[in-house]
Amino acid sequence: METVRAAEAELMARLPEGTLMQRAAAGLAATCARLLTGRRGRVYGSRVTVLAGSGDNGGDALYAGAALARRGARVTAVLLVPEKAHPGGLAALRAARGRVTVEQEVGLADFSRADLVLDGIVGIGGRGGLRPEAQPYARAARRGAVVAVDLPSGVDADTGEVPGVALRADVTVCFGTYKPGLLIDPGASYAGAVQLVGIGLEPPAAEVTALQHADVAALLPVPGAESDKYRRGVVGVAAGSATYPGAALLAVAGALHGGAGAVRYVGTAAEEVVRRFPEVLVTEGGPAGAGRVQAWVVGPGGGEGVRQALAEALASDVPVLVDADGLTELGRLGPDALAGRTAPTLLTPHTGEAARLLAGAGGGTPPAADDLAASRLATARRLAADYRATVLLKGSTTVVADPGGAVRVNPTGTSWLATAGSGDVLAGLAGSLLAAGLAPLDAASAAAYLHGLAGREAAGEPGAPTTALAVAGALPAVWRAVRTP
């Protein structure tokens, strides 16, 4: 958040004092008024509770509370740190005939009865989870909507980590820029619907970004008049085993929809692959003798042959995507296994595989997968640094980290994708984009984006269980949707 602060400071120096807070509070009050009108038909007479902490976040909430009080809402402000409440905001609320209390029992009762709660406990200045005086609100019953001011209190703005307790919101109104903590789980899961209010901030060059349709459309490979299948790229898939032939089919299905001109398969499931997908080239043996490809995908359903396939693929001079059993094997070998590579490597672990990779890098016992899920950004960054590879960390929020430090968070995820084999499709898809010439960060983030959309498409609206093959089948439709201006 240092960059946001710097941008704010620069802007504030040019504006009359308090301008940014006034803009923020006006946007916040407008959203609250819309919510109240939707729930109760009008703002007048509705009950609003403002939880005000000790910083400017509380100031925003108090000014917005004052605006709602002027429209006839019955507003009570609960001052969590009475001696440090924002003086201007408090004066505005009092002038608008808002009530103020410092009694926590009164505050809690009000919180539970309110039609709408404004969470202005703490914003980007917060450190650590909620402090003791605020914790009861996170546990208390509620009947109204909670609107988080800038960020749900207790969520780390930079990482999405929740060190302790945080207040769950139905809507978050954030100012100027999306904070990473609103995009990355577990923080993202506390934010509800996120709404951005412009306050005239120059957006700083963000370290953590999320792609949108137009960005992905610009990345996707489109064949030109000159293209033949080899120029469009051949992706090699070394996947599937006697135990898991299905993983080969799913990785190939993903690869066929990823933009490469052809898919070459090596492994024990060759017969099933050709029966299902006659357009796939199959070769006996491993990657080393398979002829020219522009990228390898190694590991889905890996089984017996994965060690050899991984060694052969890593010895090549083309990008390699390592997934599933390939990652378990790589965790055993540690980062040294990638040290001599001349082309990039893309790792696509879920948190369990990430734990094995980290253990391989540090030589210790694997960290708990749950702990890694709670610190996705840090985990992806650490893996990328340890292995000098691009890392796509799968899960409730998929995070892609480059060894150079760039991070992209995928905004299209859906929990319907938590279905067997969906990761195999993603691996094939990302490998295909690598073969088509995308840089690993672009290939991984575009693949995650398309895969998320395909999961939504396959699950339908309002959603039903779907299958990995249906997700692969939905990819052409989402390509078209993304490429439609």
Closest approach of Cβ 206 to K ion, in Å? 20
**What counts of helices (H) and strands (E) characterise the chain?**
19, 17
We find the least distance from the C-beta atom of residue 79 to K ion, in angstroms, to be: 15
54, 172, 412, 414: which one contacts ligand NAX (CB under 6 A)?
54
All residues at 6 or more sequence positions from 377 whose CB lies less than 8 Å from its CB, including other chains: 158, 159, 160, 161, 180, 184, 208, 399, 401, 407
Instruction: Residue 271: count other Cβ atoms within 10 Å of its Cβ.
Output: 10
Residue 185 marked as a ligand binder: no
59 is in an annotated binding site: yes
Binding site partner of 21, from K ion, ligand NAX, none, Cβ cut-off 5-8 A by kind: ligand NAX
Question: Which residue among 74, 131, 232, 408 contacts ligand NAX (CB under 6 A)?
Answer: 131
Asked whether 276 and 249 are in contact (CB, 8 A), the reply is yes
Binding range to ligand NAX, per CB under 6 A, among 121-129, 138-146, 320-328, 376-384: 121-129
Strand residues in 73-192 grouped as ranges (E) = 74-79, 99-101, 116-120, 145-149, 171-175
Size of the site for K ion (CB under 5 A): 5
150: contact with ligand NAX by CB under 6 A: yes
Contact characters 129-148, K ion, x per CB under 5 A = -------------------x
Q: Consult the annotation and say whether 402 binds a ligand.
A: no
Q: Could you tell which of ligand NAX, K ion, none binds residue 286, using a CB distance below 5 to 8 A set by kind?
A: none
> Is residue 149 involved in binding K ion (CB under 5 A)?
yes
The stretch among 119-127, 398-406, 418-426, 447-455 that binds ligand NAX (CB under 6 A) is 119-127
Specify the 3-state DSSP secondary structure of 309. helix
To 10 degrees, what angle do helices 19-40 and 2-12 make? 110
380 binds ligand NAX (CB under 6 A): no
Half-sphere exposure of 9 (CA within 13 A, CB side): 6
Residue 64 contact partner, candidates ligand NAX, K ion, none, CB within 5 to 8 A by sort of partner: none
Q: Give the whole-angstrom CA distance, residue 107 versus residue 103.
A: 6
125 lines the binding site for ligand NAX (CB under 6 A): yes
Task: From the list ligand NAX, K ion, none, pick the one residue 119 interacts with, judged by a Cβ distance below 5 to 8 Å according to partner type.
Answer: K ion
Q: Which stretch binds ligand NAX (CB under 6 A): 126-134, 230-238, 395-403, 433-441?
A: 126-134
Q: What's the Cα-to-Cα distance from 470 to each of 4, 30, 161, 397, 457, rounded to whole Å?
A: 42, 42, 33, 21, 9
**Could you write out the three-class secondary structure of 29-60?**
HHHHHHHHHHHHCCCCCCEEEEEECCCHHHHH
CB neighbourhood size of 22 (10 A) = 18
175 binds ligand NAX (CB under 6 A): yes
Who contacts 87 (Cβ-Cβ below 8 Å, separation ≥6)?
A: none
When binding is defined by CB under 6 A, the residue of 89, 98, 107, 123 that contacts ligand NAX is 123
* Helices (H), ranges, 100-181: 104-113, 135-139
Does position 124 interact with ligand NAX (CB under 6 A)? The reply is yes
137 interacts with, out of ligand NAX, K ion, none, CB within 5 to 8 A per kind: none
Q: How many CB atoms lie within 10 A of CB 213?
A: 15
Cβ–Cβ under 8 Å, residues 427 and 348: yes
Which amino acids are annotated as binding site, given as ranges? 56-60, 119, 123-129, 150, 153, 247, 301, 350, 394-398, 423-424
Which amino acids are annotated as binding site for K(+), given as ranges? 57, 119, 153
- Site residues for ligand NAX per CB under 6 A: 8, 12, 20-21, 24, 53-58, 60, 84, 121-128, 130-131, 134, 149-150, 175, 199
Which amino acids are annotated as binding site for AMP, given as ranges? 394-398, 423
